[in-house]
Amino acid sequence: MILKPISISFIIHLIFITLLVTGLPSLDKYDDMSVPVIEIELINTSTMQEDSKEDDLKKEEPKKDKKKYSSTPNIKPSMRSDESSKMNVVDSQKEVALNEKMENEKKTEKKSEEVFSIPTEKPSLNKINDKLLTNLNYNEEKEESKKVTALLDKFPDDRDVGEEKENQLEKSDSPKKNNSITSDEISNMKRQVEMCWNPPRGVRGASDQKVQVLINLNRDGSIIDVTPITRANNDIKKIAIESATRAVKQCQPYELPIDKYELWKEIKFTFDPRNMLGG
Amino acid sequence: MVYKKVLNFSMTFLLIFILAGCGSRQKIEQVLFGGGTDNEADIISNAIPGSSQDFTVNVGDRVFFATNSSSLDGDAKAILERQASWLALYPDIEIIVEGHADERGTRDYNLALSAKRAQVSLSYLESLGIQADRIETMPYGKERPVAACASEACWSQNRRASSVVVTDQ
Amino acid sequence: MKKYAIHYLLLILILFSFQTNKTFAALEIDVTEGNIKPLPIAISFVRDIQNKDEDLGINISKVIASDLAGSGLFYPINPKAFLEEIVSLDKKPNFNSWRVINTESLLTAQVYYEENDRFRIQYELWDVVAEKALIERELFTSINKWRSVAHVIADAVYARLTGESGYFDTKIAFIAESGSKINRIKRLAIMDQDGYNPRLLTTGNDLVLTPRFSPNSEDLVYLSYRNGQPQVYIYNVDSNQTYVVGSFPGMSFAPRFSPDGMKIMMSLQEGVGSNIFEMNLSSFEKRRLTNTSDINTAPSYSPDAKNIVFESDKSGTQQLYVMDSQGNNVRRISYGTGSYSTPVWSPRGDYIAFTKISKGRFMIGIMFADGSGERIITDGYHNEGPTWAPNGRVLMFFRESPGEKGGAMIYSVDVTGYNERLIDTPGFASDPSWSALLH
């Protein structure tokens, strides 16, 4: 045939350029619209994953020493189980692997509990809620839970090993699926922030104080900075922004799958108290 | 002429009551409001005619109202008629009609309601021939109950207009 | 062909990775639920080493804590839990040691004694999560006003952290009650909003009722039986002087100041009915606002003085009506079951508080000025006579317990119906009236 290499290449390049041009404007719109929780579909390449994995490996050494999960030990169990439930869908092979992993985790956790004879019930999200109310008690308990965390510092290692397994599996199987932030992961994070958000109330139009903030996260889930998107044009708005800022700061670090760091390194939060405070 | 007729009528009325050893209602009132003793005859004979005691005991100084109402029922009218007769007998005596309400209302409204009760009683006495300048009204709202229990038995006693004989002091 | 296919794939990959980076720059999360709880606050004053027993700072901090806790919006943390002792305001607090005890804000202060029994207090409010100063201020006054100073600081903290003005530096006028229920002795009295510094203003020889503060909180208008007939009087709180507001053939009652303090609205008894009048306090001119033979009473101005809410029994039962300041345009606003009375317009202008009587129960409620959005705040044997805090967020009212031994006590409650608290008074107390902010 005569229309050969060059024509094909030309056509493909044309497609590429068109997509590039038409694809970009939609991004701006995307940012402007305050769309409720957005479904994130993903589309990624294994190259990217390799990158992040490499980063992980590089960081692994110092990580062991850092007690970076220390302030959110309570959130861990539920996060993990949620994650696993989502992953169950992926494929049977992985499921088995994960279940094993989960069980291992549980064992470690149990062990640590026995050793330190810490209250048998696992702290849960709701627990935190109750504890915050009885502040003083909470302080004491928090100290205890810190000990647990200290012991659980193995945890990240387990996790990394698990991820490595996952990565291997993914390479061979369906690479697409695990690369989106799942709705479970989003709702976990959402729940975590909700725990820390104490919106101003009792002010005129308290329920109308919808504010947006943009957060930048480190790989370990801690916050780099918080930038208000909403403008503080009056005292009440200012206080609403402050309460949103406190919420995201108090709840850090966030436990998100590190292999998807690129997807969550920047998050836009919309805080809308209408539901809670009534119209 | 009308004045005399009323007077005659009332006098007869009064006489019948005295002879009958007082109506049952009066007995109850005496017991309730501390006006009565074991021996009624003593009081009747001891009360100086034309005194405030005479008025309270032998005529009946108060009328009662239904909840949130200021209209006079048959009993209330009868008592006011007796009061009018008595006042006619002693033309120099002046009275104050005190209006009262029970505790089951709000402060301002009860003041207004008690004023209305006193005013309605005054108007009725006036219609029976008593000159308005002999009667003053004094609203007390719910501030001066005679019975303190938290039930209708007490509240009904507090919803009242009491006529008080003005003594010169 | 293979070669081109790879070329093609590569292009697509680049394209996609490009898109991923851009399109999903920000993940978006909507937070619609929160964890509503009182705002934790730590109050730490620099200790006074010389006057350990009479530490003014500690006393002030206790009053601030009590004010803030009493609002229901704050949770003052027990000082025993503090990990850092503030020794000077010159250097920033160690935020971490405050975050660890789970506080979100920190109030630090230091007292300096000055000459002539005066003192200076320097205070700072910190957001320990954001690590920034929210307030840095100083006050200077005489030592015997230390409670007021505490209330002023509490108001500043409240305002800065909630966005609404405070209400702690205020007074309550009320009727102090004593004696048997049959022959109650009633005295005019005032106290601080938290029940402290009660002061009796009248002897109790004359029956007095329904005191209400003037907008500048210097005068009280009230009902007294002083000269036999119940009449409206004004009492000047500073000079202890009393004067009568006009002389009328019948009873004058249910008085209230206009928002500018230049006029008094009240009811005058006219025969069997009562009508609402306005009396100009400089010209003593009387202006009629209602003209019916019903009971029209308990008038209260809207804060912009354009409308008046009052109660009338013209429909057969007591109901609430709104009219304009000329007495025109009368419209009924209460339509629920039962009767409504003692309406009071909120200083914010949004709500009208009232007493509602239904099925033998007395409730305190609020509704919007057009009568919509009725909400019952408290319900019981006998609740009556609401009054608004200057910020329109809190109400006080009195609750009467039944029977011979029963009596009235004053309570405060949030407009949401939460956080009901008994105000500690020396004896029975009724007819509360909340002053404006004093500072």
pLDDT score for A278 = 61
Asked if C350 and A8 come within 8 Å (Cβ–Cβ), the reply is no
* Strand pairing class (C105-114; C39-45): parallel
- pLDDT bin (cut points 50, 70, 90) of residue C289 is very high
Is residue A84 in a domain?
yes
A23 vs C19, C39, C78: nearest CB: C19
Q: Averaged over B42-61, what is the pLDDT?
A: 79
Greatest mean pLDDT among C32-36, C89-93, C208-212, C418-422: C208-212
Q: Which of these three, A158, A179, A200, is where a domain ends? A: A179
pLDDT score for C1 = 56
pLDDT of A14 strictly over 90? no
Same domain, A97 and A188: no
Q: Averaged over C362-374, what is the pLDDT?
A: 95
Segment C152-206, tens digit of pLDDT: 999 999 999 988 899 999 999 999 999 999 989 999 999 999 999 999 999 999 9
Q: Averaged over A152-158, what is the pLDDT?
A: 37
Q: Which of these three, C162, C193, C227, is where a domain ends? A: C162
Same domain, C144 and C194: no
Segment C58-93, tens digit of pLDDT: 999 999 999 999 998 899 999 999 999 888 888 899
Q: How far is CA C425 from CA A136, A192, B46, C170, C252, in A?
A: 32, 45, 48, 16, 29
pLDDT of A29 strictly over 70? no
pLDDT score for C32 = 87
Shortest distance, CA B117 to any CA of chain C (angstroms): 8
* Closest among B67, B66, B59 to B125, alpha carbons compared: B59
**Residue A203 token pair:** 């002010």
Asked if C104 and A189 come within 8 Å (Cβ–Cβ), the reply is no
pLDDT score for C2 = 59
CATH number at residue C250: 2.120.10.30
Same domain, C291 and C270: yes
Same domain, C209 and C233: yes
Work out how many domains chain C is built from and give that number: 2
Same domain, A116 and A203: no
Percent residues over pLDDT 90 in chain C: 79
Backbone angles phi and psi of A154, in degrees to 5: -65, -30
pLDDT of B103 strictly over 70? yes
Asked if C228 and B138 come within 8 Å (Cβ–Cβ), the reply is yes
C81 vs A42, A136, A198: nearest CB: A136
Range of weakest confidence among A140-154, C214-228, C391-405: A140-154
Is residue C5 in a domain?
no
- pLDDT bin (cut points 50, 70, 90) of residue A237 is confident
pLDDT of C25 strictly over 60? no
Is residue C193 in a domain?
yes
C431 vs B107, B111, B113: nearest CB: B107
* Closest among B50, B87, B82, B49 to B63, alpha carbons compared: B82
* Strand pairing class (A223-228; B160-165): unpaired
Q: Which of these three, A161, A179, A197, is where a domain ends? A: A179
Distance CA C37, CA A200 (A): 10
pLDDT of A159 strictly over 60? no
Q: Averaged over C318-347, what is the pLDDT?
A: 96
User: Which residues of chain C lie closer than 8 angstroms to A71, CB-CB?
Assistant: none
C377 and C366 Cβ atoms separated by less than 8 Å: yes
CATH of B2-165, one of 1.10.8.50, 2.60.40.10, 3.30.1330.60, 3.40.605.10: 3.30.1330.60
Same domain, A124 and A53: yes
Q: Is B150 on the interface with C (CB under 8 A)?
A: yes
Alpha carbon B91 to its chain centroid, in Å, reads 17
pLDDT of A171 strictly over 60? no
Mean pLDDT of chain B: 80
A113 and A156 Cβ atoms separated by less than 8 Å: no
B111 vs C180, C229, C253: nearest CB: C253
pLDDT score for B33 = 45
Q: Name the DSSP letter for residue C345.
A: E
Of residues A260 and C292, the one with the higher pLDDT is C292
Q: Which of these three, C116, C134, C162, is where a domain ends? A: C162
pLDDT of B77 strictly over 80? yes
pLDDT score for A28 = 39
Q: Name the DSSP letter for residue C295.
A: B
* Strand pairing class (C74-76; C39-45): parallel
Is residue C309 in a domain?
yes
Same domain, C180 and C157: no
Is residue A37 in a domain?
no
Number of H helices and E strands in chain C, helices first, is: 4, 30
Is residue C28 in a domain?
no
Q: How far is CA C160 from CA A203, C164, C386, in A?
A: 12, 8, 27
User: Which residues of chain A lie closer than 8 angstroms to C15, CB-CB?
Assistant: 16, 19-20
Q: Name the DSSP letter for residue C390.
A: T
Asked if C210 and B104 come within 8 Å (Cβ–Cβ), the reply is no
Is residue C13 in a domain?
no
* Closest among C293, C291, C380, C302 to C328, alpha carbons compared: C291
Query: In this predicted complex, what is the ipTM?
Result: 0.88
Same domain, A104 and A143: yes
Same domain, A265 and A247: yes
Which of A39, A242, A266, A269 best probes binding to C when mutated, by most C CB atoms within 10 angstroms?
A242
Residues with Cβ within 8 Å of C283's Cβ and at least 6 positions away in sequence, in order, are none
Same domain, C239 and C126: no
pTM to 2 decimal places: 0.71
Is residue C362 in a domain?
yes
pLDDT score for A148 = 38
Same domain, C70 and C127: yes
pLDDT of A27 strictly over 80? no
Work out how many domains chain A is built from and give that number: 2
For C133, the domain range is: 39-162
SS (H, E, C) A203-253: CCCHHHCCEEEEEEECCCCCEEEEEECCCCCCHHHHHHHHHHHHHHHHCCC
For A278, the domain range is: 181-279
CB contact burial C398-410 (16+ within 10 A = b; e otherwise): bbbeeeeebbbbb
pLDDT score for C321 = 97
Is residue C21 in a domain?
no
Same domain, A164 and A187: no
Beta bridge partners of B149: none
Same domain, C250 and C339: yes
Is residue A17 in a domain?
no
Is residue C365 in a domain?
yes
Q: Averaged over A258-265, what is the pLDDT?
A: 85
Same domain, C176 and C237: yes
pLDDT score for B22 = 41
Same domain, A93 and A214: no
Q: Averaged over C280-304, what is the pLDDT?
A: 95
Q: How far is CA C101 from CA A134, A136, C57, C63, in A?
A: 11, 8, 22, 22
Of residues B161 and A143, the one with the higher pLDDT is B161
pLDDT score for A122 = 35
Q: Which of these three, A138, A164, A179, is where a domain ends? A: A179
Asked if A8 and C4 come within 8 Å (Cβ–Cβ), the reply is yes
C394 and C382 Cβ atoms separated by less than 8 Å: no
pLDDT score for A43 = 37
CATH number at residue C90: 3.40.50.10070
pLDDT of A23 strictly over 60? no
Range of weakest confidence among A126-130, C139-143, C247-251, C406-410: A126-130
Q: Is B94 on the interface with C (CB under 8 A)?
A: no
